[in-house]
Structure 1
Amino acid sequence: MERQRVKNHPEKPGVISIVLLGLVQILSWGGSFYIMAVLAAPVVRETGWSQQWVYGALSLGILVSGLLAPLSGRIISRYGGRSMLASSGLVMAAGLVIIGLSHALWLFLLAWVLVGVGMAMGLYDALFATLGTLYGGFARGAITGITLISGFCTTLVWPGTALLIEWLGWRDACLAYAAILALTVWPMYYWSLPATATLPKTTRAKASGHSAIAPFLFWLLCAIFTLASVIMTAISVQLITLLQASGYSLAAALAVSAILGPCQVASRLVDIAFKRGHPIWTTFFSTGLVALGLLMLALMPHFALLSMLLYGAGNGLRAIVRGTLPLAMVKPEEYALVVGRMARPALIGQAITPLMCGYVYQSMGPQATIWLLCALALINVLLVFLLKRALPTHRAPVTETLA
């Protein structure tokens, strides 16, 4: 199957394509999942809406994205993903325009439903499913390169969006970001990905909606990815507050948090070390580093910088594993379906995490919150060990190094 795929497409995306795909992911994540971090405060100040409702709008968008993820997978497996990925920028842009024009809470929430649709169409899961369908095992290097570049999303987007808000106000900043998405996402995807019309007919025919992956393995993967996503979301929402509760000033907490983006470099180095082996070993490193980093934060908060270095490297590997581990376990024609189905529980978990994490923090305090995250991280390490024991013995997955 891999050799047949090589005849229809280049063996792997070129370097320029990988760079463009990484950049377009930065724009897409920055205009959807991460924009609320800098948008919420000015929205609350101007409108008087409660902070819970404003942040709840993001949860609503993530929930919609999770519910639609299996549908995105089916579309990619049948028709290819380039057109859907390219259209995602227009859908997100439409949502941002409505956000900028919202003077009623119901319209603001409706806008985030539309942004959630765009997220299902254009973020990691849809892109990885498209690459896996197009290139099979040869997509592994591309996925790693894309996550390396897009790992700097918050480092670039948060200051840039904050600057737009300072210059234009939050409403016009949303309109400006919408214009950026509308003008850049479509051409970048169409230039970077091959025409899906040339996908082998056998690939489309076998995409029937049922995967050959064993149910036990499937649900193990779902549990691993869901726990990892929940931990990532909780840290994204609560890290500054947790560090301040540990005695750090706001400036120091922000400085420690800024290290998370550059830690993607370390995760790339780890993945290079294991690129010829099964991605299960990268998964061990990912969950192990996350658990070690959180345990260090709980036990030795004065070493927060080191703990976030460890956590950041593990979390960077999480994005890589999310694409490469299923790729090594299923056939290319089934990959989009499996990724789409696995995305639903992870995204639903992300959607409810801010509410649950806020409840635990308010009712039990910061220490209990940290220890709860440590427990979830350790459980995830055990689940990966169980997955390793359950995996059938087979040869190493095909990668670009075998070309």
Structure 2
Amino acid sequence: MSQPTGQAAPDARRNALILGVAQTLAWAVTYYLPAVVAPVVVADLGADPALVYGAFSVALLISGLAAPRVGRVIERRGGRPVLLASAGLLALGLLLLGLLPGLWGWALGWVVLGFGMSMGLYEAAFATLGVLYGRAARRPITMVTLLAGFASTVGWPMSAALVPLLGWRGTCLAYAAMLLLVVLPLYSLLPRAAAAAEAAPGTGPEPADPVLPAAWVRRSFLLLAVFFTLRAIISATLSVHLIAVLGGLGLSVTAAVAAAALMGPAQVGGRLLEFTLGRAAHPLTAARLGGALLPAGALLLVLAGPVAAVPFVLLYGASNGIMTISRGALPLALFGPRGYPVLMGKLALPILLAQAGAPMLTAPLVADQPAMAVLGLAGLLALAALACLLPLRRTP
């Protein structure tokens, strides 16, 4: 008997918990690693900071370029073998960071990590759940993002504690061991796609899903890709420059850091809202509401001035939290489970390319323009992104 709409089957909750814990650790020791480790690497190697941070950008570029192929593999074989391979590849990349000398070793490690990230972060996890549960994957996807929303909360303090004890190389080696001893065994507990479909009838992909009009799919996918890419440009830029921009509003360093620190809880809060109040709404409605929060926060900031810095961060964070869920749930709701892993890979390509290039390309703008103008421009860009969702309609 199938599960009621909006509820997750018991095995779906179990697998979402497994993926949520594994994703938290995978994000913590890869994507969130440079924030703490890169400054130490710059000092230790005497390297140009642009080259050290550039290696991370190259990893994101590689991840984006590899994502469509990863999606095709998940569609053919299921997500379990891909995620297992990702844990090994991420561990290898961290081993190279810890063992190879010089800047070339740092760069080579991030090249390997780029391939591992394409196989082992959100898009691969979402695609895995899509293969396992079809249209019923929305709730498990939300559960995964709720847990993994604490990746920076776990990763940054953990790295800050380990680097003084083990050095940056020892920290990378410890993280490689964590992936092999914790994340890899967690992924081994996931079911194979065929087994899951048999074990949970009514929750797997629907074989009778209609073939959608090709023109509608192309148009809808393009609008969706532009929406998520524009949002990725904003989030990638502000993830690097938010504290500086808040300081430019007139906040002290302490106040700017305190306000920026609210991002994490606000993101989790947005996901909780989607998980509870938003579960009865169509994912397109939830995405539109989430997409509207950032322009609303920017408008409030422009009207009220620096006093609205904290409300802006809260609205921006909640919007980002909902967007993370929408990246997995909205394509599934619009296009169905047929071809979903491939679609997620194609969607990830422009998003990851934007994340890789935006901080560097927007740095001159942030440096030259007043902080209020930068945040107002972010609001206008978010409004343009939201406009891409308005013509979208539910599956015809």
Q: Which TM-score applies when normalising by structure 2?
A: 0.89
1:398 maps to which residue? none
Paired position in structure 2 for 1:364: 369
Change (3 A) 1:167 1:250: farther
Could you say what secondary structure the match of 2:24 adopts?
helix
SS at match of 1:332: coil
Corresponding residue for residue 41 of structure 2:
43
- Identical aligned pairs, as a percentage? 39
Match of 1:171 in 2: 169
Shift of residue 16, structure 1, vs aligned partner: 3.8
Matches of residues 94-243 of structure 1 in structure 2 within 5 Å? 94-191=92-189, 193-198=190-195, 214-243=217-246
C-alpha separation in 2, matches of 1:393 and 1:121: 28
Aligned partners of 1:355 and 1:368: how far apart in 2? 18
8 Å CA contact 1:295–1:374 kept in 2: the answer is yes
User: Partners in 2 of 1:157 and 1:269 — Cα distance?
Assistant: 24
Q: For residue 234 of structure 1, report the CA deviation from its aligned partner.
A: 1.2
- The one of 73, 76, 91 aligned to 2:74: 76
Deviation at 1:14, TM superposition (A): 4.2
Cα 1:296–1:161, aligned 2, differ >3 Å: closer, same or farther? Answer: farther
Contact 2:59/2:111, CA 8 A, preserved across alignment: yes
The verdict on how the C-alpha distance between 1:12 and 1:324 changes in structure 2, with shifts beyond 3 A counting, is farther
Deviation at 1:98, TM superposition (A): 1.2
Segment of structure 1 superposing worse, 246-255 or 154-163: 246-255
| 1:401 match | none
**In structure 2, what is the Cα distance between the partners aligned to 1:341 and 1:331?**
15
Asked whether the equivalents of residues 293 and 307 of structure 1 are also in contact (C-alpha less than 8 Å), the reply is yes
Structure 1 residue 322: Cα displacement = 0.5
Contact 1:294 1:370 in 2 (8 A): yes
CA deviation after TM superposition for structure 1 residue 298, in Å: 4.7
2:201 corresponds in structure 1 to none
Evaluate the alpha carbon distance shift between residue 71 and residue 112 of structure 1 in structure 2; reply closer, same or farther with a 3 A threshold.
Answer: same
Compared CA separation, residues 285 and 42, structure 1 to 2 (3 A): same
TM-score, structure 1 normalization = 0.88
Deviation at 1:17, TM superposition (A): 3.1
| 1:353 aligned partner, one-letter code | A
1:279 to 258, 278, 283: 283
**Are 1:385 and 2:383 matched, yes or no?**
no
Counterpart CA distance in 2 for 1:349 and 1:119 is 16
Aligned: 1:256 with 2:254: no
Query: Is 1:354 matched with 2:351?
Result: no
How many pairs are equivalent? 382
Conservation of the 8 A alpha-carbon contact between 2:131 and 2:337: yes
Which of 300, 310, 333 is equivalent to 1:296? 300
Q: Conserved in 2, the CA contact under 8 Å of 1:233 and 1:353?
A: yes
**Aligned letter for 2:277?**
A
Contact 1:125 / 1:340 at 8 angstroms: preserved in 2? yes
> How far did 1:392 drift?
4.7
Give the SS at the match of 2:281. coil
Moved more, 121-130 or 181-190: 181-190
> What amino acid maps onto 1:272 in structure 2?
T
Q: Which amino acid aligns with 2:223?
A: L
Residues 128 and 143, structure 1, Cα contact 8 Å, conserved in 2: yes
Measure, in 2, the Cα distance between the counterparts of 1:290 and 1:51: 31
Greater displacement, 34-43 / 371-380: 371-380
Range moving further from structure 2, 39-48 or 194-203? 194-203
Match of 1:284, as an amino acid? R
CA contact (8 A) 1:65 1:117 kept: yes
SS for the counterpart of 2:280 is coil
Q: Which amino acid aligns with 1:22?
A: G
- Root mean square deviation, CA, Å: 2.6
Q: Is the 8 A contact 1:240 1:254 kept in 2?
A: yes
CA contact (8 A) 1:100 1:172 kept: yes
Deviation, structure 1 residue 365: 4.8
Deviation at residue 324 of structure 1 after TM alignment: 0.5
State the shift of 1:141 in Å.
Answer: 0.6
Partner residue in 1 for 2:344: 339
C-alpha displacement at 1:271, in angstroms?
4.2
- Tell me by how many angstroms 1:318 deviates: 0.6
- Contact (CA 8 Å) 2:264, 2:317: kept in 1 or not? yes
Preserved CA contact (<8 Å) 1:79 1:197 = no
Per-residue CA deviation, residues 88-118 of structure 1 (Å, 9 max, x unaligned), is 1111111111112343222221211111101
Shift of 1:276: 2.8
Provide the rounded CA distance (Å) in 1 between the counterparts of 2:332 and 2:374: 34
- Do 2:217 and 2:335's aligned partners in 1 also have CA atoms closer than 8 Å? no
Partners of 1:233 and 1:283 lie apart in 2 by 19
* Cα shift at 1:226: 0.8
Residue by residue over 1:294-332, the C-alpha shift from the partner in whole angstroms, topping out at 9 and shown as x without a partner, is 333455222222111111111100110001001111231
1:274 to partner: Cα distance: 2.8
CA contact (8 A) 2:248 2:370 kept: no
Q: In structure 2, how many angstroms separate the alpha carbons of the residues matched to 1:27 and 1:297?
A: 35
Q: How many Å apart are 1:12 and its aligned residue?
A: 6.0
**Structure 2: distance between partners of 1:169 and 1:249:** 31
Q: Is the 8 A contact 1:357 1:369 kept in 2?
A: no
Q: Is the 8 A contact 2:334 2:394 kept in 1?
A: no
Gaps spanning 5+ residues in structure 2: where?
Answer: 199-203
Per mean C-alpha deviation after superposition, the further-off stretch among 336-345 and 248-257 is 248-257
Tell me the distance in 2 between the aligned counterparts of 1:372 and 1:161.
Answer: 34
In structure 2, what is the Cα distance between the partners aligned to 1:52 and 1:357? 15
